[in-house]
Amino acid sequence: MGEGAIVGKRTQRRRRLTRRAFLQSAGAATAAAAAGSVLAAFAGGTPAAAAAVPKPRAGARIRLLQWNSFVRAADNELRRQAKEFGDANGLVVEIETVSGDQLQPRTVAAVAAGDGPDIIQMQYGWPHLYTSSTVNVDNEVAYLMQRLGKVHPVNEAYCKVGGHWRAIPYTQVPNAWSYRTDLFQKAGVTSFPKTWDELIVAGKKVADATGKPIAQTVGHAYGDSLTMWNPVLWGFGGQEVDKDGKTVVINSSETEAALRWAIRAQQNGIKWFPEWLDPDNNQAYHADRISATLNGPSIYIREVIEFKHFDQVTNNAPMPSGPKGSFTLNLIMNHAVMSWSKEQETAKAFLLSLMEKGNYSKWLKAARGYNHGPFEGLYDDPVWHYDLKLRAYRNVVIDSQGRPIGEWPGWPAAPSKQTSQSQTQFVVADMFAKAVATGDTKAAMNDAEAKLKAIFGAP
């Protein structure tokens, strides 16, 4: 049944028989007829007003630049899929991976030079920073939405600039709390705390009973500093800027409450490290020095795959909530096709092939829970079923009712250049670090306010 019927349905439903659409449907037909075409494997989905399908060009050579995934198997799977796509279409897809902090200077240099990789992985709000260098992908996202359903609001906030899609949603790296069940049990804490105040209670018990504190960075960690301190701030009602994206409202009693919480936590046995970078809490956990920390799934995964010391006694839990509710922040990554690319159609086609359900699922499986899908249709993946301990990572992306949750740095303002600058300058983390170090919440807030005013009011 498959391919022939789908093609038939498409040509029947075509409303505008533009030349492009015609060629592409013809192209789709050819591709479908060809044995290895991946695009033709899309099955199901509502064949409404069909979005045009980009067609890869045989003989093309495209390059994708992204970060090294923590789970090497995931990168290997990505490369395998790239090769498969290339072989099926007579072209070459190169995948280049670099370390996280090298991705941005490379991207900036490419944007400044007006040349570089065809596809660049956009982390956080980069589509807002480099908008003019990205290609409009409204069409492709519409295509994916037809088949995979709605986009997760956080990915959408990052990918959509000025009402247009400038990047194709790719994934989230969920962040949750990994903790040592044996140590918690020894301290008499039966389940992971559900509120920030409960966290302090538990933290004190665990530190007293075992000498191994709950710990987290309050420094310039690229991921961990954001995923920790923004939710704390929001949980108490604090915000950097107002919804309008202009008014700086950090100096408030809510923010003060959040800062006081952090100070109180430190006084009760929880440790905030101002010099920790992203690997530090991982290493401390593996070395049996701390009892719990907030992180991506990497700690748990590495225990299971490599160290096998604490894999049995590690569990994961979602973010505690504050007086104003529960908030989460995950690492968001999307793919942008760059404006200088000479093979934009091929690049788009490749990205669509990556998001095809079968392929994406294989990649999620290789990542062992490190990544989560950004489209509705990708939410319920087998990877979340085979190991129940990974559930927490799912629950910080989708809540128990199946609704997407999560915020982004700068929330509730929309992502923008200014929110990106605040993020890269670690304004929020620095504020907490200062408060915790000196106890002076007013000074910390004033400092943050001055910084934000400089950013949001800059010439």
Partner 1 sequence: MSTATQPAPAERAAFRRPRIRFFGQEAPLGYLLLAPTLCMLLAFLAYPFVVGLWLSVTDSEVGAIGRFVGLGNYRHEFLHDRVFLSSISNTFVYTAATTVFKLVLGLVMAVLLNQAFPLQRFVRAALLLPFIVPTVLSTLAWRWMFDPTFSVINWVLARSGLAAHGVNWLGTPQTAMASLIIVNVWRGAPFYGISFLAGLQVIPIELYEAARVDGGTRWQQFLRITLPMLRPVLLVVLLLSTILTFADFQLPFVLTNGAPYSSSHLLATWAYAQAIQGGAMGIGAAISLVLFPVLSIVIAGVLIALQRQD
Partner 2 sequence: MAIQSGPALFAPGAPGRGIRGPSRRRGRHEIGDSPLGRWVRLYIPVLLFLFVTLFPFYWMLITSFKSPSELLDFNQSPLFVIKPTFEHYRHLFTETHFGRWTLNTTVVAVVSTLISLVCSILAGYSLARLRYRGADTIGWGIFVTYLVPPTLLFLPLAFLIRRLHLFNNLWSLILTYPTFLIPFSTWLLIGYFKGIPRELEESALVDGATRVQTMIRIVVPLALPGILSAGIFAFTLCWNEFLYSLIFMNDTIAKTISVGVTSELIRGDDFFWGELMAASLLGSLPVALLYSFFVDRFVAGLTAGAVKG
Chain positions contacting partner 2, by CB under 8 A: 65, 67-70, 72, 96-102, 105-106, 108-110, 112-117, 223-224, 278-279, 282-283, 286-289, 295-296, 298, 302, 306-307, 309
Q: Classify residue 12 as exposed, middle or buried by CB count within 10 Å of its CB (0-12, 13-18, 19+).
A: exposed
User: Tokens representing 389?
Assistant: 């301990």
Angle CA(215)–CA(216)–CA(221) in degrees, nearest 5? 155
**What letter would DSSP give residue 404?**
B
Q: Which long-range contacts (CB under 8 A, 24 or more apart) does 189-195 make?
A: 191/317, 192/292, 192/315, 192/317, 192/320, 193/320, 194/320, 194/321, 195/320, 195/321, 195/322
Binding residue count for partner 1, defined by CB under 8 A: 40
Output the smallest distance, CB 455 to partner 1, in A. 8
Is 424 a residue that touches partner 1 (CB under 8 A)?
Answer: yes
129 binds, among partner 2, partner 1, none (CB under 5 to 8 A by kind): partner 1
Is 421 a residue that touches partner 1 (CB under 8 A)?
Answer: yes
The DSSP code sequence of 293-344 is: EEE-THHHHHIIIII-SSSTTEEEE---BBTTB---B-EEEEEEEBTT-S-H
Angle CA(287)–CA(275)–CA(108) in degrees, nearest 5? 110
Nearer to partner 2, 269 or 297 (CB): 297
For every residue of 30-76, which 3-state class applies, written as one string? HHHHCCCCCHHHCCCCCCCCCCCCCCCCCCCEEEEEEECCCCHHHHH
104 binds, among partner 2, partner 1, none (CB under 5 to 8 A by kind): partner 1
Rounded to whole angstroms, the Cα distance separating 219 from 433 reads 7
Nearer to partner 1, 11 or 339 (CB): 339
Is 210 a residue that touches partner 1 (CB under 8 A)?
Answer: no
Interface stretch with partner 1, choices 155-163, 275-283, 292-300, 370-378 (CB under 8 A): 275-283
Output the smallest distance, CB 71 to partner 1, in A. 23
Is 454 a residue that touches partner 1 (CB under 8 A)?
Answer: yes
240 binds, among partner 2, partner 1, none (CB under 5 to 8 A by kind): none
Output the smallest distance, CB 79 to partner 2, in A. 12
User: Tokens representing 214?
Assistant: 């709950």
Q: Applying CB under 8 A, which of residues 108, 305, 388, 443 lies at the interface with partner 1? A: 108
387 binds, among partner 2, partner 1, none (CB under 5 to 8 A by kind): none
Task: Give the footprint of partner 1 on residues 123-152 (CB under 8 A).
Answer: 129-133
Output the smallest distance, CB 201 to partner 2, in A. 28
Nearer to partner 1, 69 or 421 (CB): 421
Nearer to partner 1, 212 or 357 (CB): 212
Nearer to partner 1, 405 or 452 (CB): 452
Rounded to whole angstroms, the Cα distance separating 152 from 400 reads 15
Q: Applying CB under 8 A, which of residues 219, 231, 318, 406 lies at the interface with partner 1? A: 219
Nearer to partner 2, 95 or 141 (CB): 95
Nearer to partner 2, 72 or 243 (CB): 72
11 binds, among partner 1, partner 2, none (CB under 5 to 8 A by kind): none
Interface stretch with partner 1, choices 7-15, 72-80, 358-366, 447-455 (CB under 8 A): 447-455
Rounded to whole angstroms, the Cα distance separating 459 from 457 reads 7
Count of residues making up the chain: 459
Is 450 a residue that touches partner 1 (CB under 8 A)?
Answer: yes
Task: Confirm if 305 and 382 have CB atoms less than 8 A apart.
Answer: no
Output the smallest distance, CB 204 to partner 1, in A. 20
Output the smallest distance, CB 122 to partner 1, in A. 13
The DSSP code sequence of 182-250 is: HHHHHTT--S--SBHHHHHHHHHHHHHHHS--BEEE-S--TTHHHHHHHHHHHHTT--SB-TTS--B--
447 binds, among partner 2, partner 1, none (CB under 5 to 8 A by kind): partner 1
Pairing of strands 119-123, 61-67: parallel
Is 420 a residue that touches partner 1 (CB under 8 A)?
Answer: yes
User: Tokens representing 416?
Assistant: 């923008």
Beta bridge partners of 195: 321
Is 65 a residue that touches partner 1 (CB under 8 A)?
Answer: no
Q: Which of these, 224, 222, 233, lies nearest to 262 by C-alpha position? A: 233
SS3 115: coil
Binding residues for partner 1, rule: CB under 8 A, are 104-105, 108, 111-112, 129-133, 219-220, 273-277, 280, 283-284, 287, 289, 417, 420-421, 424-426, 429-430, 433-434, 437, 447, 450-451, 453-454, 458-459
